[in-house]
Amino acid sequence: MLELVRLVKKGAEASVYFASWFGEPAIAKVRFPKAYRHEKLDRRIRVSRTSSEAKFIREAREAGVPTPLIYFVDLKNTAIVMQYVDGPRLKDVLSPDTVGLCREVGRLLARLHAHGIVHNDPTTSNFILHKGRLVMVDFGLSIHSERLEDRAVDLHLLKEALAGGHSDIAPKAFSEALSGYSEVLGEGAKASVVRRVADIERRGRYA
Ligand SMILES: Nc1ncnc2c1ncn2[C@@H]1O[C@H](COP(=O)(O)OP(=O)(O)O)[C@@H](O)[C@H]1O
Ligand SMILES: [Mg+2]
């Protein structure tokens, strides 16, 4: 039985609630209908994004990336009920003293990439620090891909998030992430992805 307790975040795509699932603290991520979309199409989009996100949350865990346990996928109400991960967001704890956490961010992204998954929204709001470990959330935009370009976009988005939210430590934080990335995928993979990130930045500047 699900009970919504309070709204945590209302995003463009979904509303996230702190909830109770048979008495267990839980998170319910609900995609509500969008009035501006045709009803049938809207339903198809919500069902497909809900099931896709739940699938990626599971797949990521199988790839060795900590993610919340999925308790229930409610396709009728297009909701995912998952384990509540207790702890602060990386965004709220990242400082010169904790910049080493970004090494783990890089390792987790590399593990996803090694398993053919690209997260596509690796901001510091989407990592929760739980008992000293980072847990990754928000797989709503994730895709299956082995392409260098898609992997580089993941790292580019991380770099942008660090520059935007943590400008004082951003270069150090990103270089920690790259060290973690190369620990998992090797120096060669890291060098290729860094070159491609630079390409993406050049294209951004002259576009
Ligand atoms: N399983 C979870 N446990 C604890 N907090 C969560 C969980 N899932 C999401 N959150 C919190 O809710 C916020 C929004 O969830 P998220 O899936 O990132 O939705 P959005 O797509 O709107 O960004 C996260 O940044 C995190 O703070
Ligand atoms: Mg998010």
Domain ranges of the chain: 2-83, 90-206
119 touches 109 (CB < 8 A): yes
Q: pLDDT band at residue 206, thresholds of 50, 70 and 90?
A: confident
**Angle between helical axes of 148-165 and 187-206 (0-180°, round to 10):** 70
d(CA 38, CA 131): 44
Closest CA to 100 of 69, 134, 125, 74: 134
Instruction: Quote the ligand 1 centre to 131 CA distance (angstroms).
Output: 17
Q: From residue 7, give the alpha-carbon distance in Å to each of 28, 76, 115.
A: 9, 20, 33
Q: Name the superfamily (CATH) of residues 90-206.
A: Transferase(Phosphotransferase) domain 1 (1.10.510.10)
d(CA 10, CA 193): 33
DSSP 142: -
**Cβ 126 under 6 angstroms from ligand 1:** yes
Mean pLDDT of the chain: 97
Could you tell me which CATH number the domain at 2-83 has?
A: 3.30.200.20
Render pLDDT for 11-44 as a digit per residue (tens, 0 to 9).
Answer: 989 999 999 999 999 999 999 999 999 999 999 9
* pLDDT score for 181: 98
pTM for the structure as a whole: 0.97
